[in-house]
């Protein structure tokens, strides 16, 4: 079994901000509670299980009553803020290069989405495919992705929306018409995949985008090296636990649900890697404790509880055994900049 599919938190864009502005703070709390996504302000590079992100998009759309909620989120994400791979792509000298760079760098941003480009009858078809069809739909996440792609193509000088067509996999013609009226681009329902279609002649033309970072284009991608996508199940579980800043000892069943897996399947996969869920929870608690000690002046008893230890004395003993240092000494060394080894 391969590691569960992940994507960067930048894919959420302004979703929570839009939802709270329209539905209120209490509705936002319910959204976080019902989806299991508790992290308040995740950094754009934080990794999120795709099943969990897709669940957030779907529930937010249902609670807001907006069938084009994903498109609205996508329209409110500045391309330059979406992630390093978009910044890298926008440095392409032609529209074709921009698309090619997006396709090449997309796997650094997420493992659930695959892009390709093909030509059919004078049209360029820029397609996105999902590795796993999540229930009940990937519609809203796909809408968000298509809006990003549309924004890139519209940077082409002289591009007209009348020459662009969006393909969606959903069969509902009425909803396609609603999306058409919202974005001003023809939408074709019942397609085999999600795609953006435009004249192939546009691929050779481009005007450099003003205001981009002066950093060498390939260096834009270096930010992904700090937190690569997980390749092992144990890595994926540890990353998923870190999303829950208020419940670090998230149960195995809840973690499995975030991956769209049965509990026993996840347990078996961990066993094949020689890992155990209990040990991963210990790692998660230790990492959280270290982070809190290095960045907070909270009492040690409070840090113990926030890191998932039920008893401060157990925390002290476990921390000393695992690090060779007491929590107090670790805090003093980390906040003074002294070596921790």
- Give residue 210's pLDDT: 57
| Pair 208, 83 in one domain | yes
Which residue ranges of the chain lie beneath pLDDT 50? 247-248
How far, in Å, CA of 94 to CA of 76, rounded? 24
User: Using CB atoms within 10 A of its CB, is residue 157 exposed (0-12), middle (13-18) or buried (19+)?
Assistant: exposed
| Pair 221, 241 in one domain | no
In-domain check, residue 19: no
In-domain check, residue 20: no
Q: Are 191 and 169 in contact (CB under 8 A)?
A: yes
| Pair 185, 262 in one domain | no
- Give residue 103's pLDDT: 94
Residue of 181, 199, 179, 198 whose CA lies nearest to 189: 179
| Pair 164, 105 in one domain | yes
In-domain check, residue 302: yes
pLDDT of 241-254, one tens digit each?
Answer: 887 755 445 588 88
Where in the sequence is the domain holding 274, given as residue range(s)? 233-336
**Domain C-terminal end among 226, 258, 280:** 226
In-domain check, residue 196: yes
| Pair 157, 141 in one domain | yes
| Pair 218, 147 in one domain | yes
Q: Which DSSP state fits 110?
A: B
| Pair 126, 166 in one domain | yes
pTM value is 0.82
First to last CA, the chain: 36
pLDDT of 11-25, one tens digit each?
Answer: 999 999 999 999 999
| Pair 76, 181 in one domain | yes
In-domain check, residue 144: yes
Contacts of 163 by beta carbon, 8 Å cutoff, 6+ apart: 198, 199
- Give residue 156's pLDDT: 80
| Pair 173, 322 in one domain | no
| Pair 211, 255 in one domain | no
How far, in Å, CA of 308 to CA of 282, rounded? 9
């Amino acid at each position: 079994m391969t590691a569960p599919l992940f994507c960067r938190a930048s894919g959420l864009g302004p979703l929570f901000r839009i939802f709270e502005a329209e539905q209120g703070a209490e509705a936002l709390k319910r959204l976080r509670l019902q989806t299991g996504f508790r992290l308040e302000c995740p950094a754009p590079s934080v990794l999120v299980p795709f099943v969990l992100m897709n669940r957030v998009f779907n529930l937010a759309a249902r609670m807001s009553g907006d069938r084009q909620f994903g498109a609205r989120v996508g329209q409110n994400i500045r391309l330059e803020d979406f992630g390093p791979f978009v910044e890298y792509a926008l440095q392409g000298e032609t529209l074709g290069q921009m698309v090619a760079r997006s396709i090449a760098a997309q796997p650094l941003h997420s493992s659930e989405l695959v892009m390709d480009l093909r030509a059919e009858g004078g049209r360029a078809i820029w397609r996105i495919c999902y590795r796993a069809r999540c229930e009940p739909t990937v519609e809203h996440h796909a809408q968000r992705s298509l809006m990003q792609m549309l924004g890139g193509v519209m940077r082409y000088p002289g591009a007209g929306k009348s020459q662009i067509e969006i393909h969606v996999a959903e069969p509902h013609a009425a909803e396609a018409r609603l999306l058409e009226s919202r974005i001003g681009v023809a939408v074709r329902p019942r397609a085999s995949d999600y795609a953006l279609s435009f004249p192939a002649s546009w691929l050779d033309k481009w005007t450099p985008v003003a205001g981009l970072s002066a950093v060498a284009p390939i260096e834009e991608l270096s930010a992904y090296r700090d937190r690569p996508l997980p390749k092992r199940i144990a890595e994926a579980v540890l990353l998923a636990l870190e999303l829950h800043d208020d419940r670090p000892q998230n149960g195995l069943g809840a973690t499995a649900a975030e991956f769209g897996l049965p509990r026993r399947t996840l347990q078996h996969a961990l066993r094949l890697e020689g890992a155990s869920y209990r040990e991963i929870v210990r790692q998660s608690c230790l990492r959280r404790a270290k982070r809190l000690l290095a960045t907070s002046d909270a009492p040690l008893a409070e840090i113990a509880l926030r890191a998932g230890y039920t008893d401060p004395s157990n925390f002290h003993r476990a921390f000393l055994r695992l690090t060779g240092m007491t929590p107090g000494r670790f805090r003093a060394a980390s906040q003074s900049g002294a070596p921790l080894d």
